[in-house]
């Protein structure tokens, strides 16, 4: 979907299957909106971002659990999120 070609609304549709990590990421924001990325993540049971913690030099991360449960570790603190729960943290935090 695009709003009159202006880049104000859309569905990016760019998908990336991370295979062994058990995740699929899909970019949902239009390319014209460079300061933010909204992504749809489907995490299979047992899926993970990997063994080593990582972070980003700037920005923020946020999301909402739609179904299932999500184990999320931020700066060494573990959280268990259920459907309807949301999260937000600085991207400089280790995940």
Confirm if 88 and 60 have CB atoms less than 8 A apart. yes
**Separation CA 94–CA 23 (nearest Å):** 19
The answer on pLDDT for 27 being more than 60 is yes
**Separation CA 67–CA 52 (nearest Å):** 26
For 5-24, the pLDDT digits (tens) are 455 555 556 688 888 899 99
Q: What is the pTM of this model?
A: 0.76
The reported pLDDT for the residue numbered 36 is 81
Angle, CA 63 vertex, CA 26 and CA 22 arms, to 5°: 50
For 62-73, the pLDDT digits (tens) are 999 999 999 999
**Separation CA 40–CA 38 (nearest Å):** 7
The answer on pLDDT for 4 being more than 50 is no
The reported pLDDT for the residue numbered 37 is 82
The reported pLDDT for the residue numbered 3 is 44
């Amino acid at each position: 979907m695009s709003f009159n070609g202006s880049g104000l609304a859309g569905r990016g549709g760019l998908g990336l299957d991370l295979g062994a990590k058990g995740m699929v990421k899909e970019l949902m924001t239009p390319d014209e909106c460079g300061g933010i990325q909204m992504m749809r993540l489907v995490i299979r049971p047992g899926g993970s971002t990997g063994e080593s913690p990582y972070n980003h030099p700037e920005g923020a991360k946020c999301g909402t659990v739609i179904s299932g449960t999500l184990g999320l570790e931020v700066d060494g603190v573990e959280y268990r999120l259920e459907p309807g729960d949301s999260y937000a943290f600085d991207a400089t935090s280790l995940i």
